[in-house]
A and B are shown apart, each in its own frame.
Chain A
Amino acid sequence: MSTSAALWSLFSIVLIGFAYCAALAFVLGLVWRLIGYLRTPMPWPAVVTPAPTSDAGAAVRVAGDVLFFPSLFRADKALWAGAWIFHVALFLILTRHLRYFTYPVPAVAVALSPVALWVGYVFGMAGLFLFWRRLALPRALYLSGIPDYFALVLLGLIAGTGIAMKYWAHVYLVDVKAFTLGLMTLRPVAPPSHPLFLVHFVLVALLMLYFPFSKLLHAGGIFFSPTRNQPYEIQKRGKRYVGNGY
């Protein structure tokens, strides 16, 4: 075995180990945080007007918040547009990525094929807008700190390497899929030796590791926000208010 082949094997093992650690940290970290939210009581009704009056209404309200960001729309139209496009594009990109993790590939991931690259560009543009906004608006600049830039830069680099692989320096898809399916079935094989792919992959693992311990947790936390997920049912006859939200 040549030295470079030995180094490559060593690198593959480290990379695969890191990927598993990151995935484990992501899942366990997320479960730990969300269970923490779930089991903590809310000592008083905290719902903000106009409040739904039933659990179903509260679920609709939370779903609306998650899907359309109505509060942000009320607050700042430009920020709403940037943030909403950013999140929708991210969702589409993740959906499209199902083709690397599933066999057979779901129809929705296939259907996205004609627009996939454009969605990637839109995501990048929206991310740049959000980054620019943090620097250009004095209030946003005052509020922004290292974690805020870090999250955007991380996502931006992931998007950049992804788009580069798609548009410019193609990676051999069969190798990628063999690698990801190997990881998922706990029979890992060597990763494709494509530098952009390796960078992309490491950054994603880093993102997973970072996610449960950072502000990115807003993705899960929004479901537990008492000002939105409580129904207002205080004045219903005979009903003792149980302040547990979800």
Chain B
Amino acid sequence: MAKFDETPIVKEPAINGILKPPEIRENATAHVKCWPSKPKDTQAIDLPTERVPDWQARGVAKLGELLEKNKALRVFMDICVRCGACADKCQFYLGTGDPHNMPVARAELLRAVYRRYYTPAGRWFPQANNAADFDEEMLALWYTYFYQCSECRRCSVFCPYGIDTAEITMAAREIMASIGVSTKYVTEVVAKVYEHGNNLGIPPAAWKDNCEFLEEDLQEQTGLPIRFPVDDYGAEVLLVAPSADNFANTETMIGYAKIFHVLGVRWTTSTYCNEGGNFGLFLNYANLKKVNKRIVDAARMLGVKTIIWGECGHAWRAGIFTPTLNGPMDMFDPPYPYHICQYVAEMLRKGAFAGKIDKSANDQYIVTYHDPCNPARAGQLLEEPREIVRAACNRFIEMPADTIREKTFCCGAGGGLLTDEVMPIRMAGGKPRAMAVKHVGANFVATPCAICKAQLPEVMKYWDVPAEVGGVVQLLGNALKL
């Protein structure tokens, strides 16, 4: 039995792997909230430690500031016609039926405040124009429902105007952060990055230890000196993988090492920045920029020729922001930013792995590929990971067309939701993915994202789908003849 409140979750099974939109269940998830942030974390990341006294005025002013700085927000505040095309596309609505989880209704929470303070129609006739005050009640709705959005952007694919609820959620979270309202999970993770260099809070010594441990392990298994270099000044490649790859998803870490070993590339990780994931993306612009800068700084400190982003979904979203956020990357070899899947796929095309792959090593698996939301919808990574998976295994099967590629469903825990107190939301949000995997009967879900790799095993267990979850380079690593 589950150890959490299951009432928010709609249990109806899928038909042919596709979920029917549930009936509207008002306030089904109104009580599912992330824990509020702790002063020690918010202080470390330059945010107010408690709600500021004039929070209403400052929140409204912050909204005005963002409207001047973000075209997407400004346009998306005005042009929605509430047609409802997005309503049944969000995994959180499909899994819970709570109407505030329809992307349009979620966005309306911010629009109501925007209209009230920044449009003539809303200022003069608030009732007739769906405008509302930024008051205690509204702030509570914001805190609940903007932290039930994983910023996955699936709604944007179906919106006739491309309205991207992620931009709206990001703006609302930025406003809340500026007045001292944020969640424990997200702020804690960002604070850990500044203190230790990664989201998990692994100190440099432990990072080195673990790399040595992996080296010894592989030496025993293969008899080969496959290296996991740390802070290797003058290496060609800095790999910025999610720190979870070094501790939880070690098979993925081994995959990187085997690939670089076979290619004969001198690579390294950095103890200053051993994290690709950027939780600033889920909080505010200042931290997004600051966290991302660490990657470029680490690469310069180590004098590498190029940075390769590892298997982390939102790291790649922030990664493609790098030239915009942190200035030109001219000091590195192009193309930049560069993703591990793009790199490996290019090496495959060049024949660097010819004769070195034994696909039958993965024959116990019926593999399917889960597109993580950010690489698929923001980072244009649709073909490369599939090329790698196809090259590494014999039995590959795609899930239904409405659940993959740019129409992929989020795992249900992106956007700063990978925390246990919102487990009902996570399991509900993961339902469409679980149903699609179940439908095709895959027993291995390959995905290049650390959040997906942490969330999907729990989702599979909860929805009773017997499938393992792992990395794309993990599959290739398994199949490499060393």
Contact = CB atoms under 8 A, between A and B. Distances in A.
B330 interface: yes
A222 interface: yes
B87 A40 contact: no
Contact of A36 (B74, B129, B323): B74
A46 B83 contact: no
B380 A49 contact: yes
B89 interface: yes
Interface string B129-166: 11000000000000000000000010011111111100
14 contacts: A40-B71, A42-B71, A43-B69, A44-B324, A48-B156, A65-B162, A72-B83, A83-B83, A139-B99, A143-B84, A218-B80, A227-B153, A227-B162, A235-B337
Interface residues on A, range: 35 or more
A75 B72 CA distance: 21
Nearest to A246: B71
Interface stretch (A106-114, A144-152, A161-169): A144-152
Interface stretch (A182-190, A197-205, A236-244): A236-244
A47 B87 CA distance: 21
Contacts of B102: 139, 142-143
Contacts of B120: 213
B52 interface: no
A51 interface: yes
Given A217-B79, A218-B81, A234 B337 contact: yes
Given A44-B324, A46-B164, A72 B78 contact: no
B80 A227 contact: no
A205 to B, nearest CB: 17
Given A145-B82, A145-B130, A237-B335, A48 B157 contact: yes
Given A50-B380, A50-B382, A71-B158, A140 B84 contact: yes
Contacts of B164: 46, 48, 226-227
A121 to B, nearest CB: 23
Nearest to A140: B84
A215 interface: yes
A47 B337 CA distance: 16
Given A40-B70, A49-B406, A69 B335 contact: no
A79 B79 contact: no
Contacts of B69: 40-41, 43
A174 interface: no
B321 A45 contact: yes
Interface residues of B, number: 69
A71 B85 contact: yes
A129 interface: no
Contacts of A226: 71-72, 75, 162, 164
Nearest to A82: B83
A238 B330 contact: yes
B264 interface: no
B85 A72 contact: yes
Contacts of B188: none
Given A71-B157, A138-B24, A37 B119 contact: no
A121 B72 CA distance: 37
Contacts of B84: 76, 79, 137, 139-140, 143
A214 interface: yes
B47 interface: no
A228 interface: yes
A180 interface: no
Contacts of A235: 334-338
A52 to B, nearest CB: 11
Interface in B320-338: 320-321, 323-325, 328, 330, 334-338
A225 B72 contact: yes
A232 interface: yes
B54 interface: no
Contacts of A74: 157-158, 407
Most buried by A among B75, B321, B325, B379: B75
A17 interface: no
A171 B163 CA distance: 43
B438 interface: no
A142 B162 CA distance: 22
Nearest to A225: B162
B72 A46 contact: yes
Contacts of B78: 33, 215, 217-218, 221
Given A41-B69, A48-B377, A75 B337 contact: no
A148 B406 contact: no
B21 interface: yes
Given A83-B83, A144-B82, A226-B71, 16 more contacts: A36-B74, A40-B69, A48-B156, A50-B380, A65-B160, A71-B159, A72-B158, A74-B407, A75-B159, A142-B102, A150-B128, A215-B81, A225-B75, A226-B75, A226-B162, A240-B328
A234 B72 contact: no
10 closest residue pairs by CB, A with B: A221-B79, A227-B162, A75-B158, A75-B85, A218-B79, A237-B334, A228-B162, A235-B335, A42-B71, A40-B71
B104 interface: yes
B105 interface: yes
Contacts of B407: 74
Contact of A71 (B87, B130, B160): B160
A74 B68 CA distance: 32
Contacts of A148: 81-82
B70 A42 contact: yes
Contacts of A218: 78-81, 161
Nearest to B104: A143
B162 A48 contact: yes
A141 B419 CA distance: 34
B440 to A, nearest CB: 21
Contacts of A72: 83, 85, 158, 160
Contacts of B377: 48-49
A217 B74 CA distance: 12
B167 interface: yes
